[in-house]
Amino acid sequence: MSHFLRRTTLTMAFTIAICSPFASYAQNRPSDAEVRAFADKLLNRMTLEEKIEQMEQAAGQYVTPERANELAKKGVGSFLFFTDPVRINELQKIAVTQSRLHIPLLFGYDVIHGFRTIFPVPLAMASSWDPGAVAKAQSMAALEARAAGIQWAFTPMVDIARDPRWGRIMEGAGEDPYLGEQMAAAQVHGLQGDYIGSPDHILACVKHFAGYGAAIGGRDYDSSDISDELLHNVYLRPYHSAVKAGVATVMSAYMDLNGVPASANPWLLQDVLRKDWGFKGFVVSDWETSKSLQTHGFAASLQDAAIRSVNAGVNMEMTSNLYRDYLPAATQAGTVTSATLDDLVRPILEMKYRLGLFTNPYIDVARAQQITLSTQEREASRQTAEKTAVLLRNQANILPLRKDIRSLAIIGPLADSQVDTLGSWSIHAERQDTITIAQGLREKLPNTKITVTKGVEIERPAPASIFDAQVPPTKAVMTTDEERKTEFDHALEAARTAEATVLVLGELQNMSGERASRATLTLPGRQEELLEAVTALGKPVVLVLMTGRPLDITWAASHVPAILNVWYPGTEGGHAVANLLTGDANPSGHLPLTWPREVGQIPLFYNTNLTQIPDDTAHRYWDTSSLPLYPFGFGLSYAGFEISDLALASAKVKSNSVIQASVKIKNTSAVTGEEVVQLYTHQRAGSASRPVRELKGFQKLALAPGETRTIQFSIPADELAFWSPLLRKTVLEPGAFDLWVGNDSSAKLHTSFEVISH
């Protein structure tokens, strides 16, 4: 379509849309000036009420159908939680034909790790250390969602989390700002495509700005108290990366940050986000967050809440109606200026225009059906899951299992549970589409005698919120001690009579995610007892962990021969895990977080500062080691790798140049495998103590048996810059640095270099 056509009047545009409702989304990319001119022209025609209406988002499941129709006609900006393509078209038609200015609706949804086809949870995706794979997974999620009429995903969650008690750790990329930056950018690119409005892509929303991951005590929604140093050097970095990647929207967080609620925090939303980073999209509050400014003991009234939220820069308010109810009067009284309103409404209109909604508001329902859960979607989901599992232990190469194994016991409450295989935030998934691990193994090993049994049950709490899979609480199957004993014994018998046992243990899907913090990290219920009893039989045992956080598996780590952590692998989880367990796929995931031994060590993260006595004795606690069970970056493979010959192009690096490091990697095994080679640095002295190690680069590569490759890292010296708490600005300080390369954060291969002024 020519630029001329896109500049036609609204009336003409709607004629096109209505005559050709299912036209392709493909269009030329409009220039910024054109988008701005379009939005300004529209703004000029809008009444105060119409502008405020654009700033409202209503929740589909909380309004009656009649009210939803009414809101569409009134010109509400956005709906969340509509997923039926037919209904989406219906509402869109009301908006574009019956509202005064014919402004299309924006449909948002929590497309967190897939829409109907579920991919592994985000923490798993980060474990792939493969930004390309993550971008692909999110673009497949975008394709499926956009086909159904969703144009906006509340993803990616980029909150750094150092406390696995916090249930939402599962939604992010773990503890490290550098890995977090890569995953944030990859997800934005995957969801949005090359530009906002790319065909078959959707708007991304980076959340929850900012500091939500530092909730005190790991308790969801609790306040965050984060030093300036940590904010700049850790927590804000993935957000900045998402903004640099062109993210369209930002979600402001629930909690208060250092005493000021994030959703009315002008420093965060104006100074950092818009002035320093140049963000041009729009901010949506989290669910009723503007309203809860009063609950925080911050706003004196709901009116005050609306005013402070809007004046801090929240463009769109999620579900509390506060803007609709209080902004008209506030604007008339001058507490909110019309210039402020225009500035907040403009980017909402601009995004709708960029998405092509003014010309192509509808979706093709038949196409949506073809794309939903298609072979390509399933295939992409399986491949992603294969890249995300982390092999934590493999004594005597017990894995992979031989395909001619005669008998196999598959035991555990999660082994054949479809809903749990999906993980949390799979709200649009249908349980019955899911391949469980038991099913995957049955298909993979058709000639093996397979016994599947639970052994123990985990009581399923009632869904904590609408975001949980709506699975009724369970307690039911084994109600008496006798029944429980019979089932436990049955599982032991199955293990005793089988050649090997796969134990699938972990957490139910709603034990992590929102409102799902835990005060312990133990395997829930009697799973540990089952694990120990099965292992005591002395036969080959593989523990497959399904979890959204690191669990206390300290006993297993020295007793169970093999441990494969698959997180929540999604719709195709069973096929992926069966491939991994039998060697048709080779594990290549590495941990995106430090795996503690027990809950008392939390917070435990690798990029801590050195203090009085370096902790190489591991003796800071009286009653346990102060070292983790598995370090950040750790992960095994069925292949073996040797990393050697670390060399720098120069031991002196100018502050405006690039650190060039090379290293050799050899596959010392007889199978092809992928390794993640990681590079860490440490600044020895400066205006602040710097972390003992910081990830500055990584590469994931596949090597054939016996193959050796030399790989190059080119790290811009700028990467060594940090926000200095004494100087209160970002600086790159000349001086001595250490550098390590290896396959986890305890890498031994070391060299050093000096940064010199240019």
Structure tokens at 541: 């045992």
Cβ-contact 697, 616 below 8 angstroms: no
| Token output for 721 | 């810059």
| Contacts with ligand BGC, 675-714, as mask; x by CB under 6 A | ----------------------------------------
Binding mask 65-104 for ligand BGC (x = CB under 6 A): ----------------------------------------
In the complex, minimum distance from the CB of residue 213 to ligand BGC, in angstroms, rounded to a whole number: 12
Phi, psi of 675 (to 5 degrees): -125, 150
Q: Considering CB under 6 A, how many residues would be counted as binding ligand BGC?
A: 6
Rounded Cα gap, residues 353 and 650, in angstroms = 50
* Nearest to ligand BGC of 467, 595 (CB atom): 467
CA–CA dist 604, 608 (Å, integer): 9
Q: What is the DSSP string of 528-582?
A: HHHHHHHHHT-S-EEEEEE-SS----HHHHHHSSEEEE-----TTHHHHHHHHHH
Quote the CA–CA distance of 595 and 613 in Å, as a whole number.
23
We find the least distance from the C-beta atom of residue 220 to ligand BGC, in angstroms, to be: 9
Shortest approach of ligand BGC to residue 340 CB, angstroms?
A: 25
Phi, psi (rounded to 5 degrees) for 439? -65, -40
Any contact of residue 723 with ligand BGC (CB under 6 A)?
no
To 5 degrees, how large is the angle CA 225–CA 226–CA 230? 170
Q: Which is nearer to ligand BGC, 235 or 287 (CB)?
A: 287
Query: Do β-strands 658-667 and 708-716 pair in parallel, antiparallel, or remain unpaired?
Result: antiparallel
Cβ of residue 46: shortest distance to ligand BGC, in angstroms?
Answer: 27
Q: Which is nearer to ligand BGC, 151 or 586 (CB)?
A: 151
Q: Which helix (H) or strand (E) holds 78?
A: strand 78-80
CA distance 141 to 457: 32
**Cβ distance to ligand BGC smaller for residue 173 or 401:** 173
Closest distance between ligand BGC and the C-beta of residue 422, in Å?
Answer: 17
Q: How far is the CB of 263 from ligand BGC (least distance, A)?
A: 11
Query: CB-wise, 284 or 491, nearer to ligand BGC?
Result: 284
110 is an interface residue for ligand BGC by CB under 6 A: yes
Mask: binding to ligand BGC, 240-279, rule CB under 6 A, as x and -? ----------------------------------------
Query: Which member of 286, 364, 468, 552 is catalytic?
Result: 286
Q: What minimum distance in Å lies between the beta carbon of 79 and ligand BGC?
A: 12
Q: Compute the distance between CA of residue 256 and CA of residue 273 in angstroms, rounded to an integer.
A: 17
Q: Does 56 bind ligand BGC (CB under 6 A)?
A: no
**Cβ proximity to ligand BGC, 80 vs 500, nearer residue:** 80
Establish whether 342 is a catalytic residue.
no
CB-nearer residue toward ligand BGC: 293 or 504: 293
CB of 519 to ligand BGC, least distance (A): 21
User: Which CB atom, from 203 or from 578, has the smaller least distance to ligand BGC?
Assistant: 203
Q: How far is 432 from 547, CA to CA, in rounded Å?
A: 20
CA atoms within 13 A on the CB side of 203: 30
**Out of 286, 386, 457, 487, the residue judged to bind ligand BGC by CB under 6 A:** 286
Shortest Cβ 5–ligand BGC spacing (Å): 35
The CA distance from 188 to 195, in Å, is 10
Site map for ligand BGC, 514-533, x if CB under 6 A? x-------------------
**Tokens at residue 562, please?**
């093999």
CA atoms within 13 A on the CB side of 180: 27
From residue 588 to residue 627, what is the string marking binding to ligand BGC with x (rule CB under 6 A)? ----------------------------------------
What is the rounded CA–CA span in Å between residue 93 and residue 102? 9
Q: Which residue is nearest to ligand BGC (CB)?
A: 154
Q: Quick one: 154 or 740, whose CB is closer to ligand BGC?
A: 154
Would strands 749-756 and 652-654 be described as parallel, antiparallel, or unpaired?
A: parallel
Q: What angle separates helix 375-388 from helix 131-148, to the nearest 10 degrees?
A: 150
Choose, by CB under 6 A, the member of 146, 201, 207, 444 that binds ligand BGC. Answer: 207
Closest approach of Cβ 109 to ligand BGC, in Å?
A: 8
Question: Residue 473 gets which letter from DSSP?
Answer: P
User: Among 239, 287, 362, 680, which residue interacts with ligand BGC (rule: CB under 6 A)?
Assistant: 287
CB atoms under 10 Å from CB of 12, counted, come to: 12
C-beta separation of 593 from 169 below 8 A? yes
Among 82, 154, 488, 737, binds ligand BGC (CB under 6 A): 154
Nearest to 153 by CA among 191, 196, 118, 180: 191
Cβ neighbours for 19, distance < 8 A, ≥ 6 positions apart: none
Q: Using the minimum distance from each CB to ligand BGC, give the nearer residue, 152 or 722.
A: 152
Binding site for ligand BGC (CB under 6 A): 110, 154, 207, 286-287, 514
Active-site annotation, residues: 286
